[in-house]
Amino acid sequence: MTTRDIDESVNAELNRLRESIDNIDAAVVHMLAERFKCTQQVGHLKAAHQLPPADPARESRQIARLRQLAESAHLDPAFAEKLLNFIVAEVIRHHERIAEESATNGEGA
Ligand SMILES: C=C(O[C@@H]1C=C(C(=O)O)C=C[C@H]1O)C(=O)O
């Protein structure tokens, strides 16, 4: 086997792995888009019924659940928690904006 053959086989393996990584990244984007579609609806429901944008008790339950799932999947639970917190923070910002718009437009109530 020549150095060139090794280079080619390493390249082929790298490309194979990167194709899977690209597919996974695409799935993550699609799943996040679906999640945000749901949370937008939750935001409108909350605004219409004067419910607060954030629900810390619900978040605590989600974190406990995700940490357990992460552990059984051999993913760092601290990373899973940080990721969820990052997403939820963005959702809460959306909910605050929806509530402000709803108050300005006199919707809900
Ligand atoms: C989506 C909600 O609003 C907020 C966002 C959450 C989320 O993104 O999962 C969870 C709790 C709330 O702080 C909700 O209350 O269910």
Residue 108 Cα to ligand 1 midpoint, Å, equals 19
What fold is seen in the domain 3-104?
Chorismate Mutase Domain, subunit A (1.20.59)
pLDDT tens per residue, range 77-108: 999 999 999 999 999 999 999 999 999 988 75
Q: Ligand 1 center to residue 20 CA distance, Å?
A: 31
**Per-residue pLDDT tens digits for 31-46:** 999 999 999 999 999 9
* Ligand 1 pocket list (CB less than 6 A): 39, 42, 54-55, 58-59, 62, 88, 91-92, 95
ipTM of the complex: 0.99
CA 17 to chain centre: 23
Which residue is it, tokens 């799932």? 69
Domain boundaries, the chain: 3-104
Distance (Å) from CA 19 to ligand 1 centroid = 33
